[in-house]
Amino acid sequence: MAVAQLLIWAIWAGTTRHSSHWKLWLVVVGGGMAMLLEVYDFPPYQGFVDAHALWHAATIPLTYIWWSFIKDDAVYRTSDLTKKKDKKC
């Protein structure tokens, strides 16, 4: 499911004219790389850091970038709808 979701977002990011599509690309690529940490699990390095811990660490900046994209998308969609409304009047 996660691979399908990343592919759908990648297709949308590649075809849209959205001003913040680069943030979406960053989340898709970063999410794919983080997913590899879950798939190719390795034991703790010197008893401290394992793949699952690195996955959790990777999701922190990805979450920030994702919600930054969501905010930009809301502004973009609102301004787009406002422009359409002004053209009709």
pLDDT along the chain (89 residues), means of 10: 88 88 93 90 88 93 96 88 70
Can you tell me the distance from the alpha carbon of 55 to that of 41, in angstroms, rounded to the nearest whole number?
10
State residue 41's pLDDT score. Answer: 87
H or E segment and range at residue 48? none
State residue 38's pLDDT score. Answer: 87
Partners of residue 45 on adjacent β-strands: 49
Give the DSSP per-residue string, 53-83. HHHHHHHHHHHHHHHHHHHHHHHHHHHHHHH
pTM of the entire structure?
0.79
Which pair of structure tokens corresponds to residue 16? 């849209």
State residue 88's pLDDT score. Answer: 66
Can you tell me the distance from the alpha carbon of 71 to that of 49, in angstroms, rounded to the nearest whole number?
33
